[in-house]
Amino acid sequence: MLTITSDINDVKQAVLCQVAKLAFEGTLEEKRDDIPFELLPGQKPIFRCCVYREREIIRQRVRLAEGKYPAAGLKNRNIVQVLDSACAECPIQRYVVTDNCQKCLGKKCMNACKFGAISIGRDKAYIDPDKCRECGKCAQSCPYNAISDHQRPCKKSCPVNAISTDENGIVTIDDEKCIHCGACIKNCPFGALSDISFIVPVIKAIRKGKPVYAMVAPAAEGQLGPGVTMGDLREALKELGFTDMYEVALGADLTAESEAEEWMEAFRNGEKKTTSCCPAFVGMVKRHFPQLSEMISTTVSPMAATSRYIKAQLPEAVTVFIGPCVAKKSEMLDENIEGSADYVLTLKELEAMLEAKGISVQASGAHLQQGSIYGRRFAHAGGVTEAVLQALKEKGMEEEIKVCRSNGAKECKKALMLLKSGRLPEHFIEGMACEGGCVNGPGSLVTEAGSKKVRDALQAKMDDRRVTDTVNECEAACSYRMHR
């Protein structure tokens, strides 16, 4: 029987695994309500104040794992959701006076507050949470650094200020601002934010015998153990029930070649453009810099390119993207992108499915390479630029192109502000919302640094095919579209 510990990642995986297990068995409908009690059979709490709250958290996580909202009645379509039962215990008051307070005669904190929220008590200053407006003037003025900023990790990590709290202290996400990058999910220490899963519909499609094709992101390399190749992962996925697997590095080559053509035309016309492969970056442009939307490349992402390539040959295929990205789920739901992935799974969700079926990915050295090394390197910050410049080189373009390689949401925001003001010195922007690139996405199993050695070793064994070699092979096989 599956059990859980106080580790938040263990809680998430235990729920995903149990849901996947029941879905594979075809008994999820009848046994869904038993999951909280099976995972938490006793009366002693493990990770919260009481077992009843723990079971409610598990119940909400089961709903997310089924592709539902954590609470009935929600109508927003945001991929990132808040589990209010888990969020309730997060510290609510942002500014707190510590024991460093000296009750100094200057009363600089009290004088700096424009809302009358600070008074001097018997032992130290006191901040009235009902009057505090979280302006931070008190903390800035204190000569002893006695006022601590307890800003919530989720809010602090959000690059677009999409997170606030309601009157009950529960986090709310502004759907008009959110770019679905998953930074809040990655940084919440209570596991109160999570993404909706598509495990159940994927498993149902497999059980119905549909032709379900896995599309594995380049960022998956090095995530499933030392020496595990794309070929090894392909065998495990077929054992899981997928019809076959394609490398998204193939789609990355197609994207690089198409963007190279756009860049060439824009460069010669004196225009600037941004990349389009990172959905969180694209969301940042559209939602926070809408006047720059026309500068986004019209080339589809490697995920969409790979899906269109598969469906051009197999119209009935169900395509499932697998990688560390949460924002890909929002891209999947974008009705303006035809022929894209039908479903998206994170690597953590794939791990749960494999565990549910008792499948272990073995490092046998099975070879599989469907794209160039440049396509594989799309997952790294700067990798898109490297691939597009390589494609331009293969096309014989010798002009010197300058690219702003924005690594992480903060750098993306800075570059877009420069572009908006007309002060960006480079010709193009590569935008990657996750620092380090997709390899450091919120759905990763290990960190970018932890998988780098394995990735480098595997990529050293790749052949020297070019970006255009992949494109030529794909064009010979079928006809497909590369623009939105």
Q: Identify the pLDDT of residue 2.
A: 53
Measured in degrees and rounded to the nearest 5, phi and psi for residue 290 equal -60, -25
| Contact (Cβ atoms closer than 8 angstroms) between residue 17 and residue 356 | yes
Tokens of 321: 């993207």
Q: Identify the pLDDT of residue 4.
A: 60
Measured CA to CA, the distance from residue 229 to residue 222 in angstroms comes to 8
Summarize pLDDT for 333-375 with one digit per residue, the tens. Answer: 998 899 999 999 999 999 999 999 999 999 998 999 999 999 9
Summarize pLDDT for 32-89 with one digit per residue, the tens. Answer: 999 999 998 888 888 778 899 999 999 999 999 999 988 766 666 799 999 998 887 6
Q: Identify the pLDDT of residue 233.
A: 97
Query: What are the distances in angstroms from CA 224 to CA 218, 227, 444?
Result: 12, 9, 10
Q: Give the mean model confidence (pLDDT) for residues 241-250.
A: 98
Smallest CA-to-CA distance from 113 within 92, 95, 99 is with 95
Residues 6+ apart with CB under 8 A from 267: 399, 401, 427
Q: Give me the half-sphere count of Cα atoms (radius 13 Å) on the Cβ side of residue 116.
A: 0
pLDDT tops 90 at residue 438: yes
- Sign for the pseudo-dihedral over CA of 287, 292, 298, 302: negative
pLDDT tops 80 at residue 414: yes
Query: What are the distances in angstroms from CA 319 to CA 211, 231, 241?
Result: 9, 18, 13
pLDDT band (50, 70, 90) for residue 386: very high
pLDDT band (50, 70, 90) for residue 484: confident
Smallest CA-to-CA distance from 23 within 346, 240, 327, 246 is with 240
Q: Identify the pLDDT of residue 167.
A: 78
Smallest CA-to-CA distance from 288 within 434, 163, 179 is with 179
pLDDT tops 90 at residue 380: yes
Question: How high does pLDDT run on average in the chain?
Answer: 93
